[in-house]
Chains A and B, each alone.
Chain A
Amino acid sequence: MITYESVTKIFGTGRDAVTALDNVSFTIPKGEIVVFLGPSGCGKTTTLRLTNRLETLTRGNITIEDQNIMDMDVVELRQRLGYVIQAIGLFPNKTIAENIAVVPKLLGWDKKRIWERVDELLRMTNLEPELYRDRFPAELSGGQQQRVGVARGLAADPDILLMDEPFGAIDPINREQIQNEFLKLQAKLKKTIAFVSHDIHEAIKMGDHIALFDRGRLIQYETPEVILTQPKNKFVADFVGADRALKVLGLMKVSDVINRKPKNILRGEDDAREALKFLDEKGFRYGIVIEQDRPIGYVNQKMLKYESGPVREFVEPFPLFLKERTSLRDVLSFMLMYDEVTLCAVDEDGRFGGTVTYNDIQKVVRESYADEAESREDEVSP
């Protein structure tokens, strides 16, 4: 883990002095990704570069696993940390394999171990070793180069990775793919990662915790959920965006709100008149129609009036079905697109799992922001 204690960094002297970081303190827990987030000039990159001593501390301490970084040999420190940058920085004069092998070579690994590790890393980052090992960076696309950059950072199997907008130079489509691949990798490797980003979406997606900086100060250090639902001040609220309620929904899944045993279930073979009576007595405006354990659609009272015969003939089919892991944000989107207030979730075989209604979603958002509403009342009104 990495601990930042009262870290301060001032560039220049006298009147031209710029305080890049002002008394920043927080801890990155072991095995987690902490995203350093904020607008340009906020100090996030400076914090990262102080960690591997590419910049020098003016005041304060940084300790890694309880060892002060100033007590370590600077070159050894850097070899212990993985470093991945936005410009990727692959050496064009070296092959892909040689690029990845840089730190292991510095550490004195024997040849066999190095080349085995290179192949292992290439496979980990979805690059076929036979194909890419002896190529040169100029022959690779941006996305491929960045994967090599990540492989290079992981080469010596460091416990800690420092990443400075590592996916910034890649086009949005490839970026999403690489982010997903990286998260899969992290789930296996469980590295401690400091990840600089200026993109709130990336921060929410990648971070276990977010450290939000503004002009050299650490404003809020929390999980993405808390930052979205309890922004500390106007800066945070503005930075996460006015649509933060939707962003919070992006963090929740169908399985968080699903109603597995709704009361308004009808069977396909039920008679329409019986069904109508059932709905009327219970006061349900509509009913979910299930046949052989699978939902086939819904009916409301109006659709059943004056009708007779099995309910299945009058059913309005659902435009689609949800999965348990579908994000609530997508669910809300579907509801708006298809003008439906209720949707059903099914498993891989199409069997009924439960319902999600618009009200369910509204309720969960209201609960998230309940605390914020309270704290807002304490704020001085503009």
Chain B
Amino acid sequence: MNRLLGKLNRLIIASIILIAGVTAERTGLIEYLSDPYEYPVLFELFLQHLYIVTVSMTFATIIGIVAGIILTRQRFRRYAGVCMYIIGLGQTIPSLAVLALAMSFLGIGTRPAIFALTIYSILPIARNTLAGITAVPASLIDAGRGMGMPPLRILMEVEIPNAMQVILTGFRVALIINIGTAALSYVIGAGGLGDLIFTGISLMQTEKLLAGAIPVTLLALTADFLSELLGLLLVSKGLRLSD
């Protein structure tokens, strides 16, 4: 709860600062935003950005969590180290390079962007799922087995709930990186808010630049805040008591 309030605090402050900074530029920006020709374009780019993020995060979350769970199962445990190392290597590669590589093989547009973003977002989620489940005390699993809980039941009612906090952190990190990298995906033709930023830079049009940069930042901060909120929903109260 404390963390949540802290983040809300910071979100509000950051928003205020950004809006204040914007007001200094208000001559350019506000006019630009209220221009009936520009407004729908802005909105469309925003939705496009949201679209790329949502689709890639959905894939990444599903794949990441499933992969993480599989690697904790008895049979596959020994591959865990190797797999994590390989995926980790993937994350060392700069995001721009991943986008560029995706473009080289898949062309331009939203598809390679979503592909690259998915790959890039899998690691934090998979790694945290693996770590979270591994950290569940063995005595809990033993108690569950001994009582006659079938393995699936144990996974759903014991392992995942107890790993949820860690998994959620991985999700949050992935999401924030994803939003930032999605802004980059403009350069491989995926549109999104990056369009405004990059165009603004090359054309030296501050209002365009800010019209892109501010929403992206606010989006990232809001995503951060919403992830914490998600934690309140998904993490059992019994586990938060020790905070």
**Residues of chain A at the chain B interface (Cβ within 8 Å):** 49, 52, 54, 75-81, 83, 85, 87-95, 102-103, 106, 136-139, 152, 162
Contacts and interface: CB of A to CB of B under 8 A. Distances in A.
B140 to A, nearest CB: 6
A89 B238 contact: no
B162 A102 contact: no
A87 B239 CA distance: 18
Contact residues of B: prevailing secondary structure: helix
A106 B153 contact: yes
Q: Which of A87, A93, A102, A162 has the most CB of B within 10 A?
A: A93
Nearest to A136: B238
A102 B238 contact: no
A92 B242 CA distance: 10
Given A75-B150, A76-B148, A92 B238 contact: yes
Contact of A95 (B140, B148, B150, B238): B238
A79 B238 contact: no
A93 B161 contact: yes
B139 interface: yes
Contacts of A79: 147-148
A93 B142 contact: no
A93 B149 contact: no
B77 interface: no
A90 to B, nearest CB: 8
A95 B238 CA distance: 7
A102 B157 CA distance: 10
B126 to A, nearest CB: 22
Q: Which of B143, B144, B147, B161 has the most CB of A within 10 A?
A: B147
A76 B143 CA distance: 15
23 contacts: A52-B146, A54-B145, A77-B148, A78-B147, A79-B148, A85-B139, A85-B146, A88-B139, A89-B142, A91-B140, A91-B143, A91-B161, A93-B162, A93-B236, A93-B238, A102-B149, A103-B148, A106-B147, A106-B153, A136-B236, A138-B238, A138-B241, A139-B241
Nearest first, the 9 closest Cβ-Cβ pairs linking A and B are A89-B143, A78-B148, A136-B238, A79-B148, A87-B139, A93-B236, A83-B146, A93-B161, A138-B241
Nearest to A82: B147
Nearest to A87: B139
Contacts of B242: 138
Interface string B113-152: 0000000000000000000000001011011111111100
B237 A136 contact: yes
B158 interface: yes
B139 A92 contact: no
Q: Which of B143, B149, B158, B161 has the most CB of A within 10 A?
A: B143
Contact of B157 (A76, A78, A91, A136): A91
Interface in B206-240: 236-239
Interface in B159-216: 161-162
A72 to B, nearest CB: 11
Nearest to A103: B147
A237 B182 CA distance: 75
Nearest to B150: A75
A89 B236 CA distance: 17
B147 A83 contact: yes
Contacts of A49: 146
A94 B238 contact: yes
A93 B157 CA distance: 8
Contacts of A83: 143, 146-147
A142 B6 CA distance: 33
B145 to A, nearest CB: 6
Given A89-B139, A91-B158, A92-B162, A78 B241 contact: no
Contacts of A137: 238
A91 B150 CA distance: 15
Contacts of A75: 148-150
A91 B149 CA distance: 13
Nearest to B137: A87
